[in-house]
Structure 1
Amino acid sequence: DYRFQLHDAGSFWYHPHTSSAAQLGRGLVGPLIVEEREPSGFRHERTLNLKSWHVDKQGAFTEFSVPREAARGGTPGVLSTVNGTHAPTLDLPAGQVVRLRLLNLDNTLTYRLNLPDSEARIYALDGHPIAPMPLGKEYWLGPGMRIDLALKVPEAGTELSLRNGPLRLATLRSVAHDDVAGDWPPALPANPVAEPDLQRAETLRFNFEWAGTLSTDAAQGGAYTFWQINGEAWDINDKTCADRPIATLKKDGHYVFELRNLSQYQHPIHLHGMTFKVISSNRRQIEPWFTDTYLLGKNETARIALVADNPGVWMFHCHVIDHMETGLMAAIEVV
């Protein structure tokens, strides 16, 4: 039995952290939706789970993590699905504003989400509301990340294409609906997240980089070590990792994490147990927002800030699963 309080409304998900590549790869993942305490203003919503599968042409599972790929961008699947179906057609009510909760439940793949010729606005990122803004040309949704869109469904008979870059993920088909046309709902209410004080925050630096060696004791049952944080490749199978946190934070202390990607591959950096605020990047303009995962681009340095208000030992890792399982994982302690 898992017993916990729900402080934050939003789109979340669940999965195991044991033999993650195989268990997530076989489908042991799913959405965990926490509804707002008061009505959100959306009368219609759909949850869309994005996942590509490691299967061959006969439908049998292939390797979930290939060393050659794990040392690079991660081992990709080959069969894209939305809610378990390849390229489905989804009916939406014409004239209505529909909340689309899109969750990236993939082991590896970052989706370049786009909805050409549509009216779509972003209402929340990774479970936390933002001031509504246009979706724009595309949004990069890394593994473990979520986005809540409001889509104004066009007139009946129209079809929209939900895409990953140029590739069609699903067809959104507008069907006749009797209700009066809907309008854009107000912004979603903010979650109760503590605001970090940058003036008194302590800065900690974390380097995410290739381990610089292909040596491994995997033949003897150990783990490959392709990736490292601050010079150490962390073995997810070593239970003493929790006893050797990469950082120890004071409860209710204010911190800035400087995240430095010293590689040519993206890393969706995820922190368990706490929410952080993205405040700056050397690669793009940042409008600060709260999240639990940040897609760190190649050679990017980003700064995030948080209040360490949740005591315990928490995982801090890349959500490309075979990056995590080959070194890009550590523990952070709050005391």
Structure 2
Amino acid sequence: MVLFLHDFSFKSPEEVLAEVTGGMRMNHGAAPAQAMPGMGGMTGMMGIGAMATDLNDFEFDAYLANDRTLDDPEIVRVDKGGRVLLRAVNASSMTVLWVDLGATRGNLVAVDGGPCQPYSATRFGFAPGQWLDIEIDLPSDGTALPILALREGTRERTGLILAPSSASISRVADLSEAERPAFSRDMTQEASLSAVAPLAPRLTDRRHTVMLGGAMMPYLWTINGENRGNHTPIPARSGERVEVTLYNMSMMAHPMHLHGHAFQVVGIGMQRIAGALRDTVHVPPMNMVTIAFDAGEAASWMFHCHHMGHLQTGMMTELAVSV
């Protein structure tokens, strides 16, 4: 079963971009950033506890689940007490979401198509460009189960409803009672994931440090101080084991997507981990994430932020793989 999520505006993409770049700062959910596990002395050096981070920079007209709102949600008929595999896809252009199962626990078994050791929770976060496979055991009493997608830092939500044929279905409001927390500052989920089939152990042939920068005003975003069209490619040779440390020196999180490769998350802050295999990793503000991969076919592979406003205003480079 697929839960396809996206943000919707009656304005054209050009109008949306003109609004966010025109100094109209939509700063919902901004609050002092929290220190991330493993940052150690770096957190104190940056002083991020006294700084405010940004979550959302545009107000969309609707948030859709399989092209519908909670005014008329999709009803998926299921067996009482059965098990479903939910594939949740965050196809939003600029919105980070939580998938919320209410009081029901689910097991996250894959991220971005990469199987991971089951991670049990009632709520799972993901950024634009990411997708989650969640196993859910349905209520044995035959009641309906809303599967909600919550916009981080706000009250907006969307979703669908899993229901046996005999279940009564209650209306779910499109605003929750309280604002939801920020997934973009919480690395608990990412730090808890581990790949079923991790990268084979080997020495690292090449290391890169990549700086993510930019600001809301002016609305410009960069990689290594450069924007797309004026960027310097990141070099690698086919077959090399490459590690890239992504330092986010901006006040927004960035879902960084590498074309043509699956990588393993091997570091969060200063802490090494044996994390999930992904193609998109969400890098929190004023923090760092390290990824590792084996460089593939000789080609120029796009490497960019999957937040479309950030990509369009500069946050794109390329991994230049040579023979």
TM-score for the superposition, normalised by structure 1: 0.69
Distance in 1 between the 2:201 and 2:256 partners?
19
Percent identity, please: 22
The 5-angstrom pairing of residues 74-223 of structure 1 reads 74-87=57-70, 88-91=73-76, 92-134=78-120, 136-154=121-139, 155-164=141-150, 167-176=156-165, 195=200, 197=202, 199-210=203-214, 214=218
Unaligned runs of 5+ in 2: 27-53, 167-194
Distance in 2 between the 1:308 and 1:163 partners?
35
Unaligned runs of 5+ in 1: 1-45, 178-188, 215-224, 236-240
Q: Higher relative CO (CA 8 A, sep ≥ 6), structure 1 or 2?
A: 2
Distance in 2 between the 1:277 and 1:325 partners?
26
Distance in 2 between the 1:212 and 1:170 partners?
30
Task: Compute the displacement of 1:168 (Å).
Answer: 3.9
Task: Compute the displacement of 1:299 (Å).
Answer: 0.7
The equivalent of 1:260 in structure 2 is 247
**Residues 296-333 of structure 1: CA distance to partner in whole angstroms, max 9, x if unpaired?**
11111111111002221110000000100101001111
Distance in 2 between the 1:317 and 1:255 partners?
17
SS in 2 for 1:64: helix
Distance in 2 between the 1:116 and 1:89 partners?
18
Contact conserved, 2:104 with 2:122, CA < 8 A, in 1? no
Q: 1:325 aligned to 2:312? A: yes
Task: Compute the displacement of 1:203 (Å).
Answer: 1.3
Contact conserved, 1:122 with 1:148, CA < 8 A, in 2? yes
Residues 156 and 194 of structure 1, relative CA distance in 2, 3 Å threshold: same
Residues 284 and 200 of structure 1, relative CA distance in 2, 3 Å threshold: closer
Contact conserved, 2:108 with 2:132, CA < 8 A, in 1? yes
State the AA in 2 paired with 1:83.
Answer: N
Q: 1:64 aligned to 2:51? A: no
TM-score for the superposition, normalised by structure 2: 0.71
Task: Compute the displacement of 1:250 (Å).
Answer: 0.6
Contact conserved, 2:303 with 2:317, CA < 8 A, in 1? yes
Distance in 2 between the 1:325 and 1:116 partners?
36
The equivalent of 2:185 in structure 1 is none
Residues 52 and 284 of structure 1, relative CA distance in 2, 3 Å threshold: farther
Residues 70 and 101 of structure 1, relative CA distance in 2, 3 Å threshold: farther
SS in 1 for 2:310: helix
SS in 1 for 2:16: coil
Distance in 2 between the 1:85 and 1:283 partners?
42
Contact conserved, 1:55 with 1:62, CA < 8 A, in 2? no
State the AA in 2 paired with 1:169.
Answer: T
Contact conserved, 2:247 with 2:287, CA < 8 A, in 1? yes
SS in 2 for 1:93: coil
Residues 280 and 140 of structure 1, relative CA distance in 2, 3 Å threshold: same
**Residues 2-60 of structure 1: CA distance to partner in whole angstroms, max 9, x if unpaired?**
xxxxxxxxxxxxxxxxxxxxxxxxxxxxxxxxxxxxxxxxxxxx11110110127xxx8
**Residues 202-252 of structure 1: CA distance to partner in whole angstroms, max 9, x if unpaired?**
2100000017984xxxxxxxxxx71111111224xxxxx6xx652111110
The equivalent of 2:51 in structure 1 is none
Q: Number of aligned residue pairs: give it.
A: 256
The equivalent of 2:169 in structure 1 is none
Contact conserved, 2:138 with 2:145, CA < 8 A, in 1? no
State the AA in 2 paired with 1:82.
Answer: A
RMSD (Å), alpha carbons: 2.9
SS in 1 for 2:60: coil
**Residues 121-144 of structure 1: CA distance to partner in whole angstroms, max 9, x if unpaired?**
10100111101121x253221001
Residues 268 and 201 of structure 1, relative CA distance in 2, 3 Å threshold: same
State the AA in 2 paired with 1:247.
Answer: I
**Residues 131-190 of structure 1: CA distance to partner in whole angstroms, max 9, x if unpaired?**
1121x253221001100011111132333342315544224232059xxxxxxxxxxx96
SS in 2 for 1:324: helix
Contact conserved, 1:70 with 1:326, CA < 8 A, in 2? no
